[in-house]
Amino acid sequence: MMERKLKCILLVEDDHATNFLHKMILQKAGVAENILVALNGKEALTIIRDAGNQTDGNSLKPDLIFLDINMPIMNGWEFIEEYKKLADELKNNTTIIMLSASMNPDDRTRAGDFAEIKGFRSKPLSKAMVVEIINANFGS
């Protein structure tokens, strides 16, 4: 059972088929008003910064970010290093879940080294996984 609907979820993933599937799962789950997609970490940072520059109250600052590891231009680890440097108001109340097809246990361990990363899950998303993540991180 959903506790609440998020204003914005950001998918950071370079694979178009995965984005299509995850967006469909999120829409069917009815967990977010807006679902944004960035094809790499650099695009994600631009989305976050642009949301921070909105002054009209319609900011689409992500409440939840699903972050892939292996992407061109800027991968998930590089994204986290840059994300840490952002102003606090751009990061406040944002939950990052690393979502990867990687079976490398070192990736899970490394993700645990970052306070910004609140979880590490294996792809693909499922409706049950999404509801569990949202209830665990955004419950009343």
User: Does residue 24 surpass a pLDDT of 70?
Assistant: yes
The pLDDT, as a whole number, for residue 10 is: 98
Asked, for residue 131, whether it belongs to a domain, the answer is no
Asked, for residue 137, whether it belongs to a domain, the answer is no
**Segment holding 75, helix H or strand E:** none
Phi, psi values for residue 124, rounded to 5°: -85, 165
For 79-121, what is each residue's pLDDT tens digit? Answer: 999 999 999 988 988 999 999 887 888 999 999 999 999 999 9
The pLDDT, as a whole number, for residue 57 is: 64
CA 6/CA 3 separation, integer angstroms:
10
**Identity of the amino acid at 39:** L
**Identity of the amino acid at 81:** E
Parallel, antiparallel or unpaired: strands 64-67 and 32-38: unpaired
Q: How far is CA 125 from the centre of its chain?
A: 12
Q: What is the DSSP letter of 55?
A: -
CATH code for the domain of 23: 3.40.50.2300
Asked, for residue 105, whether it belongs to a domain, the answer is yes
Asked, for residue 130, whether it belongs to a domain, the answer is no
* Averaged pLDDT, 38-47: 97
Asked, for residue 140, whether it belongs to a domain, the answer is no
| Host domain of residue 77 | 6-122
Asked, for residue 127, whether it belongs to a domain, the answer is no
The pLDDT, as a whole number, for residue 20 is: 97
Asked, for residue 113, whether it belongs to a domain, the answer is yes
CA 91/CA 2 separation, integer angstroms:
23
Instruction: Name the domain count of the chain.
Output: 1
**Residue 68, C-beta contacts closer than 8 angstroms, at least 6 positions apart:** 12, 13, 14, 15, 18, 75, 76, 98, 99, 100, 123
Asked, for residue 14, whether it belongs to a domain, the answer is yes
The pLDDT, as a whole number, for residue 3 is: 53
